[in-house]
Structure 1
Amino acid sequence: MIRGGYVPRLLAVPALAGLALLVVPLAALVARVQWATFLADITAPAALSALRLSLTTGVIATLLCIVAGIPLALLIARSGPRTAALLRAAVTVPLVLPPMVGGVALLYLFGRNGWFGGPGLPFSTAAVVIAQTFVALPFLVLAVEGALRTTGVEYERTAAALGAGRWMILRRVTLPLAGPGIVAGIVLCFARAIGEFGATALFAGNAPGVTQTMPLAIYTAFNGAGVSQSTAVALALLLLATAVLVLVLVRGWRPGAAR
C-alpha cells in the first residue's frame, strides 16, 4: 500500500516553505527568551497581574460559553437544514470578523450611548469577560455541534422508546455521546479567551490590574510601557505553551485519536 499516494514530489518545496513560515517565527520567539531571568520575568508583579487577570476572566468567559454554547449547539444540531445553516452562519461570523470590529460592535451595544449602554460596563473587568465570550463562543458551539451531528439521533430515539424523558435523554445519552466534542470545544474556547486582544483593547481598554490581560501586556511592553520586553517575551512563551497544550488535549479527546 502506498501511503503517500501519487502527489507530485515537487509540491514538497512549497509545502516545506509554508511549514517554515509557520514554525520558524515561533522558534525565533523561543530563542529570544532569557532563560536566566525567565522565572523572575513571569513572576514580576505586572506579569502576575496580567496572568491572573487573563486566567480569571478566561475561566469566567469559558463558563459563560458553556452555559450558552451547549444549548445553542443542540439547537443547531437538531434544527432543519435551512435553520441550522442560518444559525451556523450567525455563529461563524465572529470567527471571520476582525477583532477590532467586534470591539466596536460591543461598544455600540454596551457603550454609554449604546442599545444597552451604561457608564459602568465598558473599560471594566466585566468588559474583558464579555469580549472574551464574544470571540470564544463560536469555537465551543461549532465543536459541540459537529459532535452532536456525528452521533445522530438514533440512540435518543431508542431511549425515548424505552420511556426516558427529554432531560434524562439529554443527561444520559446526548451529552455523554458528544463528550469528546464538548471537551475539545471547552479547551479551544478557553485558549481563545485568554489569547483575545483586539476586541478587548477597544471595548475594555488596557488598564493594568483591571483590563490588561497577557496579550495587552505584551503589546504594551513592545510599545515602551508596562512590563519589560523580557517579561513580554516570557508571557508570549506562556501563551505559546498554552496553545501547544490545547492542541495536545484536543488531539487526545478527538474520536479515533488513539488509532
Structure 2
Amino acid sequence: MAGEIIGLVGGAAALVFLFWPDAQPEPEPDPPPPLTLVDSDVDREENVAADVTVDGSPAGKFQEQGSLVSAVLLNTGNDPILVTQADVRISAVREIGCRAGGSASLIQALYDIKVPTNAAAGAVVTRKMKYDLPPHAQERIAFTVGPEETFDGDRPLVYTFTVVLRTSSGASVTVPPVTYLSRLTAADQFLAGARQAIALKAQGSQGLMDPACVPAQANAIARLVKNSPRPSPELRELSAELSEIAGP
C-alpha cells in the first residue's frame, strides 16, 4: 500500500510538471570556471637571442627585438592552478619578401616557441610548462614565437596562430589569434634590399632584387595587415615602411 501511495504521488508530481512546466524547479547553474582569460595582447617587448653557425662551426650570437604574445590569467578558485602546456595552433604560414640571395649562415633562434621549418597550416607546436597560478591571483604569461632554424638571406615569415593554455586538471583557455612577423633581421634585410632595388631602378639599372617585386609585396602585406584582427607591431611597421619605399 505504501509503495502504491508513493507511486501515485510521484505520478501526480510528474503530471504537474507536464502541464505546468514553470512549476519545475530550475537546476542549479554550473559554477564559473576558476581559470579565465582576462586580457591578451601582442607587443614588442623582448630581446631574442640566437646562435649563429657558419659551415657547422659556432659563429657567435646576436640579439633582435621580438614581440611577446601575452595572456593575463585570473584564478578565481581557492586552490592553485598549474598551467602545464601551451599549444600553438597555426592556421597560416606565409613567406614574404623578394629573393635577393644571402649567405649560408645557419641561425638557431632561442624563441620560447620554436616552430619547425616545415610547419604549415594545421600544425600544432606544443611547449611544456610548469606555471603555478596562486588562488585568487591575476598574472601574466608571455612568450616569443619564431622558426626553429633559418639561414641568413631567407625571407621573413608571418605566422597566424592561436594559443591554447592547458592545466593539469584538463581545463584550458584560448588566446585569440594573432598574425606575427618573424624574424626581424630578415625583415630588415628585405627592406634594405627593396630600398636599393628602387634606387637602382631610378638610375636605370638593376641589382639582385627585382624592383617589380617591391610594390607587389607592399600591396600584399598591406592587405594582410588590413585583414588581420591582431597584427604584430613589427608587421604593421614593415607594411608602412615598404609602402613608402614602393611609392604611389
- Whichever structure has more strand as a proportion of its residues is 2
- Whichever structure has more helix as a proportion of its residues is 1
State which structure, 1 or 2, has the greater radius of gyration over its C-alpha atoms.
2
- Relative CO higher for 1 or 2, CA cutoff 8 Å, sep ≥ 6? 1
TM over 0.5: no
TM-score (structure 1 length as normaliser): 0.27
